[in-house]
Amino acid sequence: MANFFALLIELLKLALPALVLVGGLYWLLQKHYEREDRLRAEQAQKKENRNTEIITPIRLQAYERIVLLLERITPSNLLLRISPAGQTAAEYHRLLLSEIRSEFNHNMSQQVYMSEPAWQQVNHAREEVVKLLNKTFQELPEAARGTDLAKRVLETLLVNEQDPTAQAINTVKQEVRKEFGS
């Protein structure tokens, strides 16, 4: 029996330091992995903050450009900006449609920063302006002048009391308030 206890004491002399060593190693590894996880989370947060710092101004600029597009194709503003002087109604009509197409194509890439419903409103507004111009042009006599077209478009707007771009502008503004809290 004494031999058994002596053997047990010798085993404990070997096993106890090994267990302390394994326990200490486990504790050190655990702390190391916790630190690594914390560093990864901090780096991910920093990256997200950097992306937000970069993307937010770009998104705001995109919304600004879309509102500017809508303001520029608003019929009353479009007619003020592009003079009908010396043009036939057909020439003026083509010029107005070309201007709308150009403005829209120039800003089309901004849709990636907007929600799909907001972009659909912008697209719908453009289509409504084009429809208004086309319908008004078709109602004019063949010999009409550009000034006649401009006058008739403005009269139609006054009678309908509805700006085809107003709803899209409001939608974009609401989305900006919702997204950026302004």
From CA 37, how far away is CA 161, in angstroms rounded?
61
Q: Are 75 and 157 in contact (CB under 8 A)?
A: yes
Question: What is the pTM (predicted TM-score) of this model?
Answer: 0.72
Neighbours of 128 (CB within 10 A): 18
**What is the per-residue pLDDT across 121-172, written as a single tens digit (0 to 9) for each?**
999 999 999 999 999 999 999 999 999 999 999 999 999 888 899 999 999 9
Exposure pattern of 7-43 as b/e (b: 16+ CB <10 Å)? eeeeeeeeeeeeeeeeeeeeeeeeeeeeeeeeeeeee
Collapsed DSSP state (helix, strand, coil) of residue 182: coil
Q: What three-state secondary structure class fits 88?
A: strand
Please say whether the beta carbons of 123 and 94 come within 8 A: no
The answer to whether 123 and 69 are in contact (CB under 8 A) is no
Query: What are the structural domain ranges in the chain?
Result: 2-180
In this predicted model, what pLDDT tens digit does every residue of 92-119 receive, in sequence order? 999 999 999 999 999 999 999 999 999 9
Secondary structure class of 145 (helix, strand, coil): strand
